[in-house]
Amino acid sequence: MKPITLLSALLLSAACSGGSGSDPSEVDSGPIDQQDPEGPVFVSLSTNSSSITPSDTLRFSVIVSDPDGVQDLLGGEVATPSGDVYKTFAPSGEGTYTLDLSWQELDQVATIDGPVGGVQRAMVVRFFDQAGHNSTRTVNIHLGCDAAAEGPCSAGCFNFNTSTEHCGSCVSSVPQGSGGICEAGAPICPGEFAIACNGSCEENTLDQCGACGRSCTTAKNALPGNTASISDYGCYGVTGGLTCEFTIPSTVAKSCAALCGEFNVNCAIWPLEGGGQIVGGATVNGNQVDLTTCNQVPASEGFTEMACYCREPGTYDPPQL
């Protein structure tokens, strides 16, 4: 009588149990992705969990056979879909293999940069034999965090709304040593006119207005109107809402809409005393300000000068009269 080998016993046990006595934490893998008819055969494949956090270890447990016998097996590995190998399996018995992966080992091969709520990662289990045949199966593992408001990164889990080192995402941060804070996922620099750019807190200028790389000079040159008629332009507004503005006197024989094109359009009026005010389609002392002409408020109402304002889209809302 032919003796029963360890692999035969494992196959018989798996067939008889039907999986009813397995550990409830084990998760069966997905369908076979590639099965070489002459290559290794997956008898069973499971992981200790379908979702892991930075403190967990992911364990793969596999039983494999081969048409030419288990002695023909060379081994196996877990890799990314593109073929980058996380780790190779260690044999733990005849046709049985295990493999453990830590959060750090997962990150070393494919950077963990997930959104809040975590990210699914496809992991390919591949076994091969001495004849060069191989078979694969894919397991989907969720990389997540214990706290629902956190996102998974290389160094662990972080709240992207408040973390100064991971502000808004795993790779965005508040400039070190700036004294800034992370507010609602955006780095906020100290000072009335400072923005977080290039890893530091920088002042707003004509070539960096309210956002990194927003150039008022470039925007001015893109205006569809006659740029030679622009009497003034600059970077104006309030903290967190600076934007580029371009002033075109209302004496120019074109409407504000035609001069400003895709930019936000407003009319500016100056009273006899005090600073200028900005309006947009508003009523001033009972007179409607018309954006197409920007000249509907008579001087008798105390206003002596008017102009078109072209404003690059931003968060700054101009004051209304």
Domain spans of the chain, in order of start: 24-143, 159-203, 216-311
Residue in the block written with tokens 């309210």: 210
Whole-prediction pTM value? 0.61
- Minimal CA–CA distance to 279: which of 235, 233, 237, 318? 318
pLDDT given for residue 214 in this prediction: 79
Long-range contacts, stretch 273-278, CB < 8 angstroms, 24+ apart: 277/319, 277/321, 278/309, 278/318, 278/319
Contact present, 8 and 96 (Cβ < 8 Å): no
pLDDT given for residue 6 in this prediction: 38
Helix (H, G, I), strand (E, B) or coil at 4: coil
Distance, CA of 140 to CA of 31 (rounded, Å):
11
Distance, CA of 242 to CA of 2 (rounded, Å):
84
pLDDT given for residue 206 in this prediction: 83
| 111 CB-near residues (< 8 Å, 6+ apart) | 154
Sign of CA dihedral 22, 25, 31, 36: negative
Q: What is the mean pLDDT of each run of 10 residues along the chain (321 residues)?
A: 38 38 43 80 95 97 93 94 95 91 97 95 95 94 95 96 93 84 87 75 81 79 65 67 71 64 66 54 61 58 64 49 29
CATH of 24-143, one of 2.60.40.1930, 3.10.290.10, 2.60.40.420, 3.20.10.10: 2.60.40.1930
Strand pairing of 119-129 and 134-143?
A: antiparallel
